[in-house]
Amino acid sequence: MNGEIALLMFAAVFVVLLAGYPVAFSLAGTALAFAFAGDWFGLFDFAFLQALPNRLYGIMVNQTLVAVPLFVFMGVMLERSRVAEELLETMTALFGRLRGGLGISVTLVGMLLAASTGIVGATVVTMGLLALPTMLRRGYDARIATGTICASGTLGQIIPPSIILVLLGDVLSAAYQQAQLDQGIFSPKTVSVGDLFAGALIPGLMLVALYLAWLLILAWRRPESMPPLEADQSRPTGLLPLLHALLPPLLLILAVLGSILGGLATPTEAASVGAVGAMLLAAGRRRFNLAILREVARSTMEVSSMVFLILIGASVFSLVFRGFGGDVLVEDLLTALPGGVFASMLVVMLVMFLLGFVLDFIEITFVVVPIVGPILLAMGLDPVWLGIMIAINLQTSFLTPPFGFALFYLRGVAPQSVTTGDIYRGVAPFIVIQLLMLGLLAAWPTLATWLPSRIYTG
């Protein structure tokens, strides 16, 4: 009976969210309401909530999570220093005279922004404001333009260093240790954020390559939909402007990611290097002053507060969920499925995909992964592979009509001439590419596990 109450509580959260209440308060408020009601009817033991102070203290002293505000600061500072605008101008000058060159430029800039900021919404909105009017003005099909921007904007989900991978790495680490303890392994192995960064590198770059291949095929098959820029529309560029635009952000990315993968710094230490580097980059472009610093600090505080408040709400929710026996019910449901590990993984991926329509990655990471993660990992799945599968799966969900978050972000900044139908049809081929990437990763897990094993075990 209690397990069914836990599922009812899950459904109640969705009702509250659809009513428009903030996510963090919806999670904690619904959980506490069910806890008090359960205690009243003798169905819930309040002793479960005694673990809450320890959980909150654990959040406060978690060194890995300190990387979140630092990476947010780095991303916002780069956004304010107009790095994206300069990168797009330079890439357009390089590739613009090729047929489909502007689409290629947008994809490459999206990749670099993903590696610089790791914030999906910010990347989609920035590219929508900068690139979409240019692409439409130069004769690009609205569907191709919007699809390219949405797809390249969501690369921040998978290309490191990513805030999302930091959060997922922390949650998966706890889930992996819990799975081993449940199996009687009292010297558990660990998985780190650096493992996930290394594991995401090859699939992320493969995804970019597949995007570019599709754009080249489109340029060949439908040349009228992706015209090259005329000579007077693409300003000439030389080595110096190219280096000025590309070298500083590339060096910053290499410093952050290279220090993590090389074992020279933890993600938190590397994030601090990124934050300082972003300030130096902005200062070098003469776009750094006290007013900008104050604005960036305020934005960082708002985003970080949202993340940690959701984490606190999710902690309350997961405790009550376990108190009602929800974790046992989920484990029984998954282990009883015909088809074993494959069926369990398929069901979890499908549920997460559907949840991605109504919940952001942060909520899914903090609420769903702690429930299903230990169960799947106890079945023998590799934690790095599982993390990358979850990241790409949710990236696909954020692109899928009619509820994909990336579509809403772009719709908010797109001109009236671009219809919602254009956006929906534009992302369809990229959704197929995402599903293809998921299939490749499912068939060859070594795409995600090879690089971490080479880096960290030699």
Structure token pair of residue 50: 């005694």
Distance in angstroms (rounded) separating the CA atoms of residues 27 and 13: 6
Asked whether residue 155 carries a pLDDT value surpassing 70, the answer given is: yes
Instruction: Examine residue 346 and state whether it is found in any structural domain, yes or no.
Output: no
**Amino acid (one-letter) located at 82:** R
Query: Which is nearest to 452 in space by CA: 260, 167, 207?
Result: 260
Task: For residues 44-56, give the mean pLDDT.
Answer: 83
Distance in angstroms (rounded) separating the CA atoms of residues 208 and 75: 20
Q: Are 381 and 172 in contact (CB under 8 A)?
A: no
Q: What's the pTM?
A: 0.86
* Residue 428: per-residue pLDDT: 92
Other Cβ atoms less than 10 A from the Cβ of 188: the count is 14
**Residue 286 — φ and ψ, nearest 5°?**
60, 40
Give the range among 85-94, 171-180, 215-224, 268-277 with minimum mean pLDDT: 85-94
Q: Is the peptide bond preceding residue 415 cis, with omega within 30 degrees of 0? A: no
What is the domain count for the chain? 1
Of the pLDDT bands very low, low, confident and very high (cuts 50, 70, 90), residue 132 is confident
Residue 175 lies in domain = 46-315+383-457
Query: Which is nearest to 106 in space by CA: 143, 135, 77?
Result: 135
- HSE-CB at 312 with a 13 A cutoff on CA atoms is 13
Instruction: Examine residue 277 and state whether it is found in any structural domain, yes or no.
Output: yes
Task: For residues 324-351, give the mean pLDDT.
Answer: 85
Instruction: Examine residue 126 and state whether it is found in any structural domain, yes or no.
Output: yes
Query: Which is nearest to 124 in space by CA: 407, 439, 441?
Result: 407
Asked whether residue 235 carries a pLDDT value surpassing 60, the answer given is: no
Instruction: Examine residue 378 and state whether it is found in any structural domain, yes or no.
Output: no
In order of 55, 172, 262, 382, the CA distances from 454 in angstroms are 34, 21, 11, 15
**Amino acid (one-letter) located at 395:** Q
Instruction: Examine residue 14 and state whether it is found in any structural domain, yes or no.
Output: no
Structure token pair of residue 271: 């994030």
Instruction: Examine residue 327 and state whether it is found in any structural domain, yes or no.
Output: no
Structure token pair of residue 38: 């359960």
Distance in angstroms (rounded) separating the CA atoms of residues 71 and 197: 14
Q: Are 111 and 158 in contact (CB under 8 A)?
A: no
pLDDT in tens, 437-458: 999 999 999 999 999 888 866 5
Query: Which is nearest to 308 in space by CA: 373, 388, 363, 364?
Result: 363
Distance in angstroms (rounded) separating the CA atoms of residues 111 and 154: 9
Q: Are 365 and 320 in contact (CB under 8 A)?
A: no
What length does the chain have?
Answer: 458
Give the range among 226-235, 293-302, 333-342, 401-410 with minimum mean pLDDT: 226-235
Distance in angstroms (rounded) separating the CA atoms of residues 94 and 142: 22
Task: Give every CB contact of residue 368 below 8 A, 6+ residues apart in sequence.
Answer: 351, 352, 355
Q: Are 343 and 28 in contact (CB under 8 A)?
A: no
- Which spans in 359-419 are helix H? 361-367, 369-378, 383-399, 405-413
Of the pLDDT bands very low, low, confident and very high (cuts 50, 70, 90), residue 203 is very high
Q: Which residue has the higher pLDDT, 249 or 2?
A: 249
* Residue 234: per-residue pLDDT: 47
Instruction: Examine residue 177 and state whether it is found in any structural domain, yes or no.
Output: yes
